[in-house]
Amino acid sequence: MITPDPANGSRAALELRETDGGPSVTLTGHWNLRGLAAAGPGLHQALAAMVGRTELEWDLTGIERLDSAGALVLWRAWGAALPPRRRLRSEQQSAFARWENGKIPSMRDASRPALPLPLRLQRLLAALVDHLLSFITMLGQFVLDSLHLFRRPSDTPLREISAMIHETGGRALGITALVGFLIGVVVSYLSSFQLQTFGAQIYIVNILGLSIIRELGPLLAAILVAGRSGSAMTAGIGVMRVTQELDALEAMGISASLRLILPKVIALSLALPLLVVWTDIIALAGGATSAQLELDIGFHQFFSKLPEAVPVANFAIGLGKGAVFGLFIALIACHFGLRIQPNTESIGHETTNSVVASITLVILVDAVFAIVFRGVGMP
């Protein structure tokens, strides 16, 4: 028998005793991972020797600590059933409740067979349709809320919109400026080598102007906002789900779409075009700096040539992209935020899905803009 050791009282121990009511197994010590490890293999051998002895009374009241590992060891030793003669405390009884009406966990349970390919494709298609229908429903609700505010402007959540513009736009100025400046330097630096080969250094203005104002500026700002602000929106709504704040809003009769979704969509649709302008300016400044160092084109010459090289329609296209990107990023962030289940694992999973879906949709919408406006604003 494994008897208690005074020098190591934290280990799991058991002792077979003869009492007036018959043989009794008294368990003491810490029946947790550390206590089981300290007891060694002798403990499992002693438990195996008692399997099938229904006359034994199991006394667990002397156990100081019992976790799921210790409970599982005893459950398996008892043959996946509580012994008929036992003495347990109430908290110890709950430790075995998870398996009392189920089965013993095993390694075979973790290795589930892979689903057939047609079934996996069917589930993937069903999930895609479910997401699409939910997204269309949210977009329709946003339109209805906008019409409601048009009829009753006093219900406009101005404070929430203002706070969200500051959060998604004002606090993103630093990171968008840094990335925009570096992108401008890189594009200008790489283009200068090819232009010097043909003696067409002045066309660096055309390359930078069109690429940044029409494509790179809106795309960079949208991707950064999707990763920064979109994920924050999804996680914020998810935390409200975990803390039951969404249920409280519903119980009080407050529209979650009007107080949560609409301010985020409006704020990001307004803030992102402004961020696009900011990113364009900083990226062009970075490109002009590199052009001066590599091609000896001064700042005055660069920015004087810019309006002639880049028609103003490209600037309008960039602003339009920013507004559309902001609309979709906010809707997707709110869509995945509302799908979060009340547990922490779901928050991380859906936040990741939100960022991936937002960036993918931004690139897809940018491709649509490129096709539709392919002949607009070209010099």
What pLDDT was estimated at residue 242?
A: 84
Pick the most confident of 54-63, 154-163, 177-186: 177-186
pLDDT tens track for 67-93: 877 888 887 787 777 888 888 887 777
d(CA 74, CA 85): 14
- Average pLDDT, stretch 186-195? 86
| pLDDT tens, residue by residue, 194-222 | 887 777 778 888 888 888 998 899 999 99
pLDDT given for residue 220 in this prediction: 92
pLDDT above 60 for 139:
yes
Q: How far apart are CA 359 and CA 265, in angstroms?
A: 16
Quick check: helix, strand or coil at residue 81? coil
Q: Compute the average pLDDT of residues 274-288.
A: 92
CA distance 79 to 92: 18
- pLDDT for res 297: 83
Beta pairing, strands 86-87 & 63-66: unpaired
Q: What is the pLDDT of residue 60?
A: 82
Summarize the confidence of residues 248-258 as an average pLDDT.
82
Q: Looking at residue 38, what is its pLDDT? A: 81
Predicted confidence band at 110 (pLDDT cuts at 50, 70, 90)? Answer: very low
pLDDT at position 306 = 86
Q: What is the percent of the chain with per-residue pLDDT over 90, rounded to a whole number?
A: 26
**Mean pLDDT calculated for residue range 182-189:** 90
Average pLDDT, the chain: 83
Rounded Cα distance, 91 and 63, in Å: 11
Least confident span in 33-37, 266-270, 282-286, 335-339: 33-37
Residues of the chain with CATH 3.30.750: 6-110
- CATH class, range 6-110: alpha beta
| Average confidence (pLDDT) over 263-282 | 93
Count of other CB atoms within 10 angstroms of residue 339: 19
In this prediction, residues 147-155 reach a mean pLDDT of 88
- Give the C-alpha separation, 137 to 144, whole Å: 11
pLDDT for residue 109 is more than 50: no
Q: What is the pLDDT of residue 377?
A: 67
Q: Which pLDDT does position 135 carry in this prediction?
A: 86
Interacting residues of 155 by C-beta distance below 8 A, sequence separation 6+: 148, 149, 258
Q: What integer is the mean pLDDT of 362-370?
A: 92
**% of residues, the chain, pLDDT over 70:** 92
pLDDT at residue 321 greater than cutoff 90: yes
